[in-house]
Amino acid sequence: MPAISKSLTDAFNSQINKEIYSAYLYLSMSSHCDAANLPGAAGWLRIQWEEELGHATKLLDYVNERSGRVVLKAVDAPAATFGTLLDIFRQVRAHEEEVTASINKIYQQAISESDYAAQTLLQWYVNEQVEEENSAAEIISMLELAGDSGSGLLMVDRHLAGRARGA
C-alpha cells in the first residue's frame, strides 16, 4: 500500500482538528446544559464529546498507518453560552452540516487521487454524518413538538438521558 499523499495528509490533519473542535464544542454545550439544569441533554452532549474524540483519533491512526505525518493544530475556543435547548440543537445540526461538507470534500479528493483505501475509510465518515445530522434533526423536531420550555422541555431532557454510549 503506497503512503498517503501529502495533500490528503493535509486534508486529514485539518479534519482531525475539526473533529476535536466538534468535541470541544459539545463539551461546552454540555456544560451549558448542566448549568441550565438539563442533565439529560448534558449527558447526551457529553457522550457526543467522546464520540467526536473517537472520530479524531480514528483519522489520526489512519494517517499514521499510511505513513503520513500527523500535525496537530491549535483548537479554537467554542462559545460558552448557546441559548435554549432548541437553539443548541439547531447549532448542532448546522455544525454537523459543515462537517459533512468537509468530509465530502476530502472524499472527492481521495477519488481524484484514486486512493481507494482512503475512500473506504472516508465512507465510514460519510455514513456517520448521515446519522449525526439525523439525530440532531430528530431532537429539533421533538423540541418543536413538545416545546422548548416547561413540561415539554423536561420530557425531552428525560428522553435524552436515555442515550447509551455508542448510540
Residues that bind ligand OFO (CB under 6 A): 19, 22, 52, 55, 96, 99, 128, 132
Nearer to ligand OFO, 38 or 59 (CB): 59
Smallest distance, ligand OFO to C-beta of residue 103, A:
8
Q: How many CA atoms lie within 13 A of 64 on its CB side?
A: 9
**HSE of 155 in the Cβ direction (CA atoms, 13 Å)?**
11
Q: Which is nearer to ligand OFO, 121 or 153 (CB)?
A: 121
Q: Decide: 163 and 47 in contact? Cβ < 8 Å.
A: yes
From the CB of 152, what's the least distance to ligand OFO, in Å? 26
Minimum distance of ligand OFO from residue 34's CB (angstroms): 20
Reading the block at residue 94, the C-alpha cell is 448546522
The number of beta carbons lying within 10 Å of the beta carbon of residue 111 is 13
Nearer to ligand OFO, 139 or 153 (CB): 139
- CA–CA separation, 8 vs 16, rounded Å? 12
| Least CB distance to ligand OFO at residue 128 (A) | 6
**d(C-alpha 136, C-alpha 25), whole Å:** 14
Max Cα–Cα distance, the chain, nearest Å: 58
Find the residue with minimal CB distance to ligand OFO: 22
Cβ atoms of residues 30 and 149 within 8 Å? no
Minimum distance from residue 102 beta carbon to ligand OFO (Å): 9
